[in-house]
Amino acid sequence: MRKFIYTILSVFLFLSAFTGAYCQKYSNEFLSIGVGARAQALGTAVIAGGADVTAGVWNPAGLAAMDLPNGFQLGAMHSEWFGGVGKFDYAGIVLPLNTNHRRIGLSFIRFGIDQIPNTLSLYESDGTVNYDNLREFSAADYAFLLSYAQLVKPETGRLAIGGNLKVVHRRIGPFATSWGFGADLGLQYKISEWRIGVLARDITTTFNAWSFSFTDAEKEVLELTNNEIPISSVEITRPQIIAGITRRFQWKSIGIAPELDFVATTDGRRNTLISASPFSIDPAFGLELDYNQFVFLRGGVSQFQRELDFGGKELLGVRPSIGVGLKIASMKLDYAFTDLGSQQNTFSHIISILLDFRPKGQ
């Protein structure tokens, strides 16, 4: 029963896209979930300190700060949400360019719900139910990101800049498709032992143009069941500004790296710690401990929201996360346990892997 409820809720999240312009505030929200078990374990606080292939999604400037000057890195992640109903997958690669201290990255993301029954074809023309007519479809969101990053004044290595060009494709079975395009700009700057990161996400404003395709029979069913027949529409994802600061402290064999980020949205009042219009601000904090950069222990908090308990009293909810990591030679294996939302039991296990490929002799 619980899985069935999660299925209904998950499908509702996807089908809510049918309302197009009326749901612009949370358009392309699947990209805000983020990629990589390390980032998830840190409460998504990686804007300033992220420096691996997943930085192509979080802050592309971090690609230039990678400790892999002439090699390339592969990354992959898998997680399941809503009791295994929603599948979230990621794959990425970062490569050096011929010119020094410049990198390009490619990222692919899919968040989908599969095997959804299509009940529009359940009824025959005489009104009888024919279960043989049931067909399954998928509702999925896809994102393709092309990243570029470089060090400014490589002799100092203080400033790294980067940008993304991204294509977003969303598909709901045979009924609806959309295409969207956008861009991100980011930087990371070192001041002594401190590192500051800033990301302007969807700086161009990302537009998703929806088109719908229903047969005459399906339109008739929608009308008979008092459902609105959607029309072509455009969703708008408004810009966000994310800023963070981090520093790594070393004590003998133990390393400690805290990071504090602030996410500022520009689409009006949201249920965040600082809620206002048109800007709302939500903090995220992560802490990573390591032993000789070999074993890692991580924890984080994010998504501070005001909630009401059964007695109507306002409480402050938070999204917690924990995780571990292991580095063996050129492989990094990470695990995270976190919650997609703070109000329901939507915890998920997240596993990701990074592989470094270095030229011979390095």
What CATH code would you report for 2-357? 2.40.160
> 69-103: per-residue pLDDT in tens?
778 999 999 988 777 778 899 999 999 987 768 99
Distance CA 49, CA 65 (A): 9
> 123-167: per-residue pLDDT in tens?
666 666 767 767 778 889 999 999 999 998 877 778 999 999 999
pLDDT of residue 173: 80
**How far is CA 308 from each of CA 6, 87, 284, 314, 340, rounded to the nearest angstrom?**
21, 30, 22, 5, 19
Residue 62's φ and ψ, nearest 5 degrees, are -65, -20
pLDDT of residue 345: 59
User: Is the backbone of residue 63 left (phi > 0), alpha (psi -120 to 50) or beta?
Assistant: alpha
Distance CA 320, CA 287 (A): 12
Residue of 318, 290, 320 whose CA lies nearest to 305: 318
Distance CA 197, CA 259 (A): 10
Distance CA 79, CA 86 (A): 8
DSSP string, 111-147: EEEEEEEEGGGSB-TTS-B-GGG-EEEEEEEEEEEEE
Residue of 212, 220, 221 whose CA lies nearest to 172: 212
Instruction: State the greatest distance between any 2 C-alpha atoms of the chain, in Å, as a whole number.
Output: 78
For residue 331, list its beta bridge partners. 328, 355
Q: Which residues of the chain have pLDDT under 50?
A: 1-23, 342
Q: Is the peptide bond before 174 cis (omega within 30 degrees of 0)?
A: no
Query: Which two three-digit tokens encode residue 327?
Result: 């580095």
Model pTM above 0.85: no
Runs of H (alpha helix) within 93-140 = none
- Residue 4: Cβ-neighbour burial (10 angstroms; 0-12, 13-18, 19+): exposed
User: Helix (H, G, I), strand (E, B), or coil: what is residue 133?
Assistant: helix
